[in-house]
Chain A
Amino acid sequence: ETGVTQTPRHLVMGMTNKKSLKCEQHLGHNAMYWYKQSAKKPLELMFVYSLEERVENNSVPSRFSPECPNSSHLFLHLHTLQPEDSALYLCASSQGAPGSGSGNTIYFGEGSWLTVV
């Protein structure tokens, strides 16, 4: 149990579907993240939220839409995805907000395996 819970763990969706990934952290952290993990590539940072405000958007296509209603919950809304978007999507959180000092350890959830068919 990492303190960061992701649902669903597995998702198969068609290219015209709309689905959402959910993340909840039970650590009292102030920052939350979405990462994409593809085979043989480094972890790719997608979005960063600090105190419910988006502070970073790493040129992610608009078919990925994040939402952070409060500091404990983070969503990733998916719409008209492509097969190359199939990957493991990892949610993470850290105590401090980005910029509040280095070394704010990131804690990851178990990930949501997404397959786009």
Chain B
Amino acid sequence: GENVEQHPSTLSVQEGDSAVIKCTYSDSASNYFPWYKQELGKGPQLIIDIRSNVGEKKDQRIAVTLNKTAKHFSLHITETQPEDSAVYFCAASIPTSGTYKYIFGTGTRLKVLA
């Protein structure tokens, strides 16, 4: 069935180091991949996204890479700061029966240690 696997489930890094979160999707028809950040007590907020016709996208300290052949995409955060601590979710947009839906990963809890 359709699913998105996300790893790791938890990640601790020292402030200033880089963090990488990886997701693998199953449906080759997936064509849009957003990443959301959810801080404690808040709803998920979009931080970056990538479409299937692009291999990499960068926005300041965050970047996303997409490997369509391997069906995986990754979030990269450089120069991590304590305020980057949150739960991060990946998602894949899947067209289905004339509509589309998002399949979400199970989330990665990132802790940035000062």
Contact = CB atoms under 8 A, between A and B. Distances in A.
A10 B107 CA distance: 23
A67 B89 CA distance: 28
B32 A103 contact: yes
Given A90-B43, A108-B44, A41 B106 contact: yes
A43 interface: yes
A103 B31 CA distance: 8
Contact of A110 (B34, B42, B89, B105): B42
Interface residues of B, number: 26
Contacts of B106: 40-42
Interface residues on A, range: 20 to 34
Contacts of B95: 102
B99 interface: yes
Contacts of B45: 2, 108
A103 B101 CA distance: 10
A109 interface: yes
A103 B99 contact: no
B104 interface: yes
Interchain residue pairs A-B with the least CB separation, the first 3: A108-B43, A98-B99, A103-B32
